[in-house]
Copies of this chain bind each other. A is one copy, B any other.
């Protein structure tokens, strides 16, 4: 009999976790060896049981404390043989890009049907990558737009300003607070908007939240 593929599931919504478990457990060739509600415990587990031959980690993004992006980065750096599949509610281009740069093996929206989940797992365990069509569409659209817009890793100062913007402060207030000219803050604001590909304060705020700069 062929050995089962060992799988870890990570999601902070227990019910979803149980749902995934119920879907995967009946699969004869899969074995769930651990479930967790954030990345921290998985990291510990992998460090201790490095030789156990974990095949795949299925993870949510957007968990408190230690999210999927971070966990994926950790796994790919320290345990590159382990495959990773991200299952998330949101599918924004930036997140997917970050994940692909970090060599994630697959990405599914949470509204994908059970069948697609199983197919994705098979594909990934077979050594290939699997991205849902909707994700690919969004990603490509983002790629073409990316040519015009520069790279968007934010500097420390930019993050600081972004944080204050999202804290409902006006340009003038931020300037006073950081002992800078209001023109400087205006420049930052402008650069952030174009760098992050958003239209206005609302977009900046959402991004700040996504980055975890505020809550």
Q: Is A137 in the interface zone, CB < 8 Å from B? A: no
Interface residues on A, range: 35 or more
Q: In whole angstroms, what is the CA distance A14 to B199 when docked?
A: 31
Cβ-defined contact, A19 with B23, below 8 A:
yes
Cβ-defined contact, B13 with A202, below 8 A:
no
Q: In whole angstroms, what is the CA distance A97 to B14 when docked?
A: 24
Q: In whole angstroms, what is the CA distance A108 to B15 when docked?
A: 10
- Nearest-neighbour CB distance to chain B for A126, whole angstroms, equals 21
A206 CB contacts on chain B under 8 angstroms: 166, 205, 209, 214
Q: For the complex formed by this chain, how many copies does it contain in all?
A: 2
Q: Nearest chain-B residue to A173 (Cβ)?
A: B199
Cβ-defined contact, B215 with A89, below 8 A:
yes
Q: Is A111 in the interface zone, CB < 8 Å from B? A: yes
Residue contacts A-B, CB under 8 angstroms, 18 given? A13-B89, A14-B112, A14-B113, A15-B113, A18-B23, A18-B113, A22-B22, A89-B215, A165-B202, A167-B202, A168-B198, A168-B202, A170-B200, A201-B201, A202-B202, A205-B206, A206-B214, A209-B209
Give me the 8 closest cross-chain CB pairs, A-B, nearest first. A19-B19, A22-B22, A18-B114, A205-B205, A201-B201, A13-B110, A202-B205, A168-B199
Further 16 A-B residue pairs, CB within 8 A, beyond A15-B110, A166-B206, A202-B205: A12-B111, A13-B109, A13-B110, A13-B111, A14-B110, A14-B111, A15-B16, A16-B19, A16-B110, A22-B22, A90-B215, A165-B202, A168-B199, A168-B203, A205-B205, A205-B206
A contacts, CB < 8 Å to B: 12-16, 18-20, 22-23, 37, 87, 89-90, 108-114, 117, 165-168, 170, 198-206, 209, 214-215
